[in-house]
Amino acid sequence: MTRIVAQTPSTSVDLLALAECVEKFPSKTVVLLGDFVADEFQFGDISRVSREAPVLILRHRETQVVPGGGANAANNLAALGARVLLITAVGQDAQGDALVEHFRVKRADISGIVRVKGWTTPTKTRFLAGWPHTVGQQVLRVDREPQAALPEAARRKIQQLLSAKIRSASTLAVSDYGFGVASPDLVRHAAKRAKRGLAVTLDARYNLADYAKAGILSATPNEAELEALHHTTIGANFDELTRCGRATLAAMKLEALLVTRGRDGMALFETRGRATRIPVHGSDQAVDVTGAGDTVLAAYTLSLACGASPLEAAHIANIAGGLVVMKRGTATVSRAELLDAIRRDAGGSGS
């Protein structure tokens, strides 16, 4: 069989090998530990300008609640064909009900979702304004967050569930949005009790460095998170990105660090000192970047679980990210879509 290789000035990958890797996704079981967020979209038609203040009045048309945060990562893992074991906490509220019901309908394992009385399910409500038959534009976002830390009883329950479910998993994906479900101590405790060789991937919004001794194989921060960690500005300065990337890789003792860079694509840092630029896949004019990092975590994690090298996994994740940012709202990429995109690239490379 002739192998078709895609090449850029910085790297090359075997596209048929990428497709073969994606074909294996359904054979993997992934534990997703993380903060579930309800992404709520309020759609309204513009009625008029208010007489009380210079603001639009929207006539409510529709409300949608979809998985966000770690729930979006879980949703993407399921869409890519994996068996997903969910470990999280949500409130006993309407948003928590909506998230549980979403995964129940998908026939995911929801036994690891802890319902916490009196705790608020993190919710991001976006108001989108438009006219009939037009695409709504976001005019306001309101966030509702827990006003107290996750109760100790809920944390103990999460630890018990994680220790039990991780025994049957191919890998552990951690999605830490700062709401208290995931923590370095919890991941460290679970990794010690998991079967040998379990790969752990991490997407942490705020406390990436705290996971330095938690047994993480690879992490997927975005460039802004890396800037915050190192108190710097990267911009177009690839040398500064390289300095920050290599410093993070060494400090956290990772095998690989994948940094997402929006329209600038990705950068992969590996233990052998190699820094690889990966150009953005498809158009650099994204329709909506909401939740793209969750898609990247899902595709990257599954690829590593299937035996891909960090470079191959990064390319698969880059393609998945390029597909999802062309969709509106918090979206997923299916395994079929990902395979089609890889095969189209292979066809183009061979022309």
Q: Domains plus CATH for the chain?
A: 13-37+68-121+147-349 (3.40.1190.20)
Please give the DSSP secondary-structure letter assigned to residue 201: E
Beta carbons of 150 and 179 less than 8 angstroms apart? yes
- Give the Cα separation of 255 and 200 in Å (integer): 11
pLDDT at 126 over 60: yes
List phi, psi (to 5°) of 19: -65, -40
Look-up of token digits 């679970």: 190
- Rounded to an integer, the average pLDDT of 249-277 is 93
Lowest mean pLDDT segment, chosen from 175-189, 232-246, 254-268, 276-290: 276-290
pLDDT at 9 over 50: no
- Name the pLDDT band for 136 (thresholds 50, 70, 90): confident
List phi, psi (to 5°) of 61: -115, -40
Dihedral (CA of 306, 336, 311, 260) sign: negative
- Rounded to an integer, the average pLDDT of 73-99 is 97
Q: What's the one-letter identity of residue 169?
A: A
User: In this predicted structure, what is the pLDDT of residue 12?
Assistant: 77
User: In this predicted structure, what is the pLDDT of residue 134?
Assistant: 82
Beta carbons of 114 and 157 less than 8 angstroms apart? yes
- Name the pLDDT band for 2 (thresholds 50, 70, 90): very low
- Going by their DSSP bridges, the two strands 218-219 and 256-260 should be labelled as parallel
Beta carbons of 120 and 93 less than 8 angstroms apart? yes
Beta carbons of 201 and 171 less than 8 angstroms apart? yes
Beta carbons of 4 and 349 less than 8 angstroms apart? yes
Write out pLDDT tens, residues 303-313: 999 999 999 99
User: Helices marked H in the chain — which ranges?
Assistant: 15-23, 70-79, 94-105, 152-165, 184-193, 223-230, 238-252, 292-305, 310-324, 335-349
The CA-to-CA distance between both ends of the chain, in Å, stands at: 16
- Name the pLDDT band for 7 (thresholds 50, 70, 90): very low
pLDDT at 3 over 80: no
Q: How many CA atoms lie within 13 A of 28 on its CB side?
A: 30
User: In this predicted structure, what is the pLDDT of residue 5?
Assistant: 39
Mean pLDDT score of the chain, rounded to an integer?
91
Closest by Cα among 130, 121, 82, 77 to 101: 121
- Rounded to an integer, the average pLDDT of 208-213 is 93
pLDDT at 95 over 60: yes
- Rounded to an integer, the average pLDDT of 89-113 is 96
- Rounded to an integer, the average pLDDT of 131-144 is 89
- Name the pLDDT band for 10 (thresholds 50, 70, 90): very low
Bigger pLDDT: 8 or 107? Answer: 107
Among 143, 294, 340, 345, the active-site one is 294
Is 294 labeled as catalytic in the residue annotation? yes
- Give the Cα separation of 297 and 309 in Å (integer): 15
Write out pLDDT tens, residues 31-72: 999 999 999 999 999 999 999 999 999 999 999 999 999 999
User: In this predicted structure, what is the pLDDT of residue 349?
Assistant: 60
pLDDT at 351 over 80: no
- Rounded to an integer, the average pLDDT of 94-119 is 96
